[in-house]
Homo-oligomer: A and B are copies of this chain.
Amino acid sequence: MARTNLLYAQSGGVTAVINATAAAVIAAARERDDAIGTVFAARHGILGALDEDLIDTTALGADDLGALSHIPGGAFGSCRFDLDPPDRNPAQYDRLFAVFAAHDIGHFLYNGGNGSMDTVAKISAAARARGYPLVCVGVPKTVDNDLEGTDCSPGFGSAAKYAAVSMLEAGIDIASMASSAGRVFVLEVMGRNAGWIAAASALAARTADDPPHIILMPEAPFDEDAFLAAVDATVKRLGYCAVTVSEGIRRADGTLVMEQDHDRKGHVQLGGAGQCIARLIHARLGHKHHWAIPDYLQRAAGHLVSAVDHAQACAVGRAAVEAAIAGRDCVMPAIRRLSDDPYRWDIVFPDVAAIANLERRVPAHFIRADGLHVTDAAKRYLRPLIEGEVYPAFAAGVPDYRRPRLSSVPRQLAAYIP
């Protein structure tokens, strides 16, 4: 295969380690300058590719790449944008391949989740249909851990660690303040359809009485009475109760808890699931209630990255470059678990077309029979993913995230008008 350039882009919600993948892609491609010329990055994912808004990574030195590997967020910008089906909007693909051709791009690496894998599959099929010589590789990334075809997704381990550490620390705080009135703390974490991050908060506990006492996941329908009985029993036993809730929990009828809560006068109470659950407890059981919603903090916590997650984020980046050079079109380097303890894993290459747009949810055998916590099997799965610490350098009291200067590539085409 002729030596061509490589285009890398980031897509979807960003993570604490997506830039570790980016840095690994660039470093691995440089080592193979027999096969790969320049490494370009698109600004804001596929939007930058369409807009010919490209960055030349050549100017990034080894120090820049080392720093990049520990910066949260998406250094090249991300987007939430799906390509149209090729038959419905061929002009969109005309443009994309015109950009690829103008910059001699023969390898395209797209770093994202389920939707991004769909983009990979579409571009791969369109390239084949047009006879454009391109190898498309998907690179996994999602804090939600809902990608199929991989044992876990880079980004999840660090979000999981954040959830476990946060529940551990807030749990110690609330235990200090326990009083006869009863106190309840609710931690709302990300997860609209999959409760993986909520499940991971279970790793805060060493004993059965440690927080979190209850974990609510979207996979287990929310039963208000059973939940309140469990809260009540916990408060009676310990004086307090700590609950983790996924933002997307639903009742048995499918309605979201976060949208449907009403106060006594019938007014809709807007707010997240955590707030609704905390208020429900207060209204029905009378306990003092606090809730936390870390929101972006949980997926951007570069100061609390899991070493395993960071290593896997680097590994999928390197493996993606190797797959691209080997001409393995439309695959995704994925984590395969070889053993739980000691934790061992390697990289496999499932077909992207078979996993795009699927959503891997927490399986039934990871959820306790009453739907209010996880099983030991879940903890065995989750535990290794949060192992180890990778600290960023600090300066003046905060992480020294030195975002690299990005050199734009001169445009060669006319402006894109979608």
Contact = CB atoms under 8 A, between A and B. Distances in A.
B398 A176 contact: no
Nearest to A74: B176
Given A169-B296, A269-B270, 18 more contacts: A44-B178, A71-B172, A72-B172, A75-B176, A78-B176, A79-B177, A169-B302, A169-B303, A170-B300, A203-B397, A267-B268, A270-B271, A291-B293, A292-B297, A294-B294, A304-B304, A387-B396, A389-B391
A294 B297 contact: yes
Interface stretch (A1-9, A32-40, A98-106, A159-167): A159-167
Contacts of A177: 13-14, 74, 77-80
B294 A174 contact: no
A173 interface: yes
**Assembly stoichiometry (copies):** 2
A185 interface: yes
A83 to B, nearest CB: 17
A295 B292 contact: yes
Contact of A77 (B44, B178, B269, B394): B178
Specify which of A73, A161, A296 lies most central, judged by the most chain B CB atoms within 10 Å of its CB. A296
Nearest to A16: B169
Contacts of A14: 173, 176-177
Interface pairs A-B: 9 shortest CB-CB: A386-B397, A74-B176, A73-B172, A292-B295, A173-B300, A169-B300, A170-B296, A73-B176, A267-B267
A161 B398 contact: yes
Interface in A8-26: 10, 13-14
A175 interface: yes
8 contacts: A73-B176, A77-B177, A80-B177, A165-B398, A168-B398, A169-B297, A294-B294, A387-B397
Contacts of A166: 297
Nearest to A174: B296
A170 B297 contact: yes
Contacts of A303: 165, 169, 304
A228 interface: no
A388 B398 contact: no
A348 interface: no
A204 interface: yes
Contacts of A178: 44, 77
Contacts of A290: 295-296
A103 to B, nearest CB: 23
Nearest to A78: B176
A381 interface: no
A10 B178 CA distance: 13
Interface in A146-172: 161, 164-166, 168-170, 172
Categorize the interface residue count of chain A.
35 or more
A204 B275 CA distance: 28
Interface string A361-380: 00000000000000000000
Contacts of A300: 169-170, 172-173
A383 B396 contact: yes
Contacts of A80: 177
Contacts of A73: 169, 172-173, 175-176
B296 A185 contact: yes
Contacts of A173: 14, 72-73, 296, 299-300
A301 interface: yes
Contacts of A268: 267
A295 B299 contact: no
A401 B168 contact: yes
Contacts of A170: 295-297, 300
A89 interface: no
Contact of A383 (B391, B397, B403): B397
Given A383-B396, A396-B387, A398-B203, A295 B302 contact: no
A79 B172 contact: no
